[in-house]
Amino acid sequence: MPLHVPSAPAPALRSVLAALSSPTAVRQARTSALRSVQGPLSPELPLPVHVLDRITPTGTAPRTRLAAWRFLIRSEGRAIAAADTMLTPDGWSFSHFFEGPYLASTELAVRQAEASPTAYQARLLSIPELYMLTLWLHDNPDDDAADASGVLAPADVLVPLAPAPPGIAAHRPHRVADLLPVMTLRVAPGPLLSSA
């Protein structure tokens, strides 16, 4: 079943296109691949980036906040960089270009999700407490809340992207109900050491 990728807000896409057409923005980007490419560049696979600010052991569904829209920047059929946009008082604006291991990892996770028989809506979920980024497969593919606060539903699936934190396998899908307790243990304070 095809993966549902929500449409990015038009201002977010326009701001990335404007940055790509700006020689100054591309030249000043901290991405060598973007600066050295000769062919045309295109922003593709827009994904909302949600942030889970706090992992708590409570029984309530964790809430996230929408922090960005991310576009993979392609040249000659391959992703060479990504562009993030951010919400400002004037709307969605270009933030920055970057590269790194999450590009290939995102593409791999999306291909794996597209092979799933279950329909999902694709999102990214950043978990700063664990230095972790996941592909968030939202169980309701028709949910229009991709651009609002989101709730991690127990049936949603998280696919940790590489590099994943120690003890959590990259590219292995986990239901939120199963992975959340593991994440909670990872951020729980350890026992205090005795000074004796």
- Who contacts 70 (Cβ-Cβ below 8 Å, separation ≥6)? 46, 47, 48, 49, 82, 83, 84, 85, 124
Residue 70 and residue 138: Cα distance in Å, rounded?
Answer: 17
Tokens of 161: 């992207």
Mean pLDDT, each 10-residue run in order, the chain (196 residues): 84 95 81 82 95 76 89 92 94 93 94 91 93 91 60 91 92 92 70 50
Ordered DSSP codes for 134-155: EEEEES-TT--GGGS-EE--TT
Place of tokens 């449409």: 7
Tokens of 152: 């991690």
pLDDT for residue 34: 83
| Rg of the chain (C-alpha set) | 18
pLDDT for residue 37: 82
Residue 131 and residue 78: Cα distance in Å, rounded?
Answer: 26
Q: How many CB atoms lie within 10 A of CB 167?
A: 9
Among 93, 67, 95, which Cα is nearest to 81's? Answer: 95
Half-sphere exposure (CA, 13 Å, Cβ side) for 34? 25
pLDDT for residue 134: 97
pLDDT for residue 2: 72
pLDDT for residue 98: 93
List the beta bridge partners of residue 92.
87
pLDDT for residue 124: 97
- Beta strand 42-51 with 121-127 is parallel
Specify the DSSP element, H or E, that contains 178. Answer: helix 176-187
pLDDT for residue 24: 83
